[in-house]
Copies of this chain bind each other. A is one copy, B any other.
Amino acid sequence: MFQNEAFRALDREECVRLLAKVPVGRVVYTRHALPAVLPVNFSLDTDASVLLRTSPGSDLVRAIDGVVVAFEADEFDAAARSGWSVVVTGRASVVTDPAEHERLSQSGPTSWMPLRDAAFVRIESEMVTGRELR
């Protein structure tokens, strides 16, 4: 439905502002050569990269560390048939710098899941696109 004149393209600033409003997005990647998607809660870093908190040994970490992924968030109102969608595309990498890990442990994303150890994954906001359905 989302490929014609009824959409308004959003600029990067608008996209980042909208992303900051929602707690959950979806990591889009490839697993065993098939398209895969996983909802995650997230936060935005000061440079608008997407930060996830997960388990160090998770399937997600294994699948996306060092790989270009997409990250999508949206909000829709079915009654009004309106809404927005933002996609961040960039390289995902596990945070390995101890000082950075410590900073994110204090101020970074939380997880909705109880985690024994935390790994942080950063998705660089190399390409940020969005559109609004009016």
Which A residues have a C-beta under 8 Å from some C-beta of B? 1-4, 6, 23-24, 26, 28-30, 34-41, 52-55, 58-60, 68-70, 72, 74, 76, 78, 81, 83, 85, 87, 89, 111-115, 133
Contact = CB atoms under 8 A, between A and B. Distances in A.
A1 B37 contact: no
Nearest to A80: B112
A6 B111 CA distance: 12
A74 B36 contact: no
B40 A36 contact: no
B89 A54 contact: no
B23 A26 contact: no
Given A3-B38, A28-B28, A35-B89, 14 more contacts: A1-B52, A1-B113, A3-B54, A3-B60, A6-B114, A23-B78, A24-B74, A24-B83, A26-B72, A35-B68, A37-B37, A37-B72, A37-B87, A39-B76
